[in-house]
Chains A and B, each alone.
Chain A
């Protein structure tokens, strides 16, 4: 066998050996419960445990943010952080100028008092999750309220609003519970403004399970 033909044969053999290998999925670590618990009594008192996420056909989620205290910028940063949690295009959102067509409305206003509050210090926020006529429907637009607790001219609310914007968008994406780990952005009183490994694994799992709820617009 001549030298070039020997090289050709050796390379072919090497390529065939490489072709035999395969790679397993990485281990993703822990996650927390994200599902909503809804009591119902059509066949006696029961609790349904439901999961929700925006489906590919509903993306990008349209978000209208009140142009106060840099709220649109906080929401844009929150979108980027959550999008970065996904590898396979599971979530996308855009800011829109028309609140009438929005799936999610973000206002800076006083707390109505019956949502999912997050209070990291200088501000508070909440997301109203409204399951309407049947427990398998979610009313949209979802409303997020951001509420600076101090006078914005005295205490800069921006760092706090940055954290709660990401936290509340996590609720609007379908994380209907709080994490029990202070390092997670979905902890009830979050300090982190970036999703942790547990946050990421939670939303990854959530977005790869069938959604039990359908968004409906009245």
Chain B
């Protein structure tokens, strides 16, 4: 609110404008430092849609199993109501191929997603988040679709968080819901004629703790 009034009031004489700007800074900065900056840690699980869909005789799907995930993040106040932050999500789990109802385990793949995001309020304890960044796939073995190694792709995501204050204050219980989408294609798939990436959707649900920075 102060920012909006400030911008509209700048047709005042320059001295008064500068004074009001200094007053706004003095009022806004302590709020920003005490109430908004935060860092957090959460653990949960991530589920994803198919990595690959193919057909040699019958349709073949490759997908990741539900994988445990750990999320760490930090956010600084960008505007009085909004924060900008960095979030890292690490997950590790199996992946498998399914053809005609028969499932073949293909090994383990780890993913590390890093997103820069903006979050803002929805209602009192619930906030939305919008993020973009990169996701890196790290297979346990260089074989099959990962014969030529892992892959790094861009990522875009949406999310929501709920915070419940704990005692002593500055600590919150945190529930995070994250959805993201990224294109998936490996060098090996490209060398075998897959010319287009497949869009993979992921949903992560996690709980953890958050702390407001002083």
Contact = CB atoms under 8 A, between A and B. Distances in A.
Interface of A: 4-5, 7-8, 11-12, 14-15, 18-19, 21-28, 56, 83-84, 86-90, 204-205, 208-209
B194 A23 contact: yes
Contact of A11 (B82, B158, B189, B197): B158
A87 to B, nearest CB: 5
Contacts of A21: 199
A87 B104 contact: no
A18 B181 contact: yes
B156 A14 contact: yes
B188 A87 contact: yes
Most buried by B among A7, A11, A88, A89: A88
B54 A25 contact: yes
A205 B57 CA distance: 7
Contact of A89 (B56, B105, B179): B105
Contacts of B97: 88-89
* Chain B: number of interface residues, binned into ranges: 35 or more
B83 to A, nearest CB: 11
B57 A25 contact: no
Contacts of A5: 120
Contacts, number: 84
Nearest to A2: B120
Contacts of B179: 15
Given A26-B195, A88-B97, A205 B181 contact: no
Chain B: interface secondary structure? strand
A131 to B, nearest CB: 24
B130 A88 contact: no
Contacts of B82: 4
Given A23-B198, A88-B104, A7 B118 contact: yes
B119 to A, nearest CB: 9
A83 B143 CA distance: 8
Interface in B171-193: 179, 181, 188-189, 192-193
B62 to A, nearest CB: 7
B147 interface: yes
B144 interface: yes
Contact of B144 (A11, A86, A205): A86
A88 B57 CA distance: 13
B62 A208 contact: no
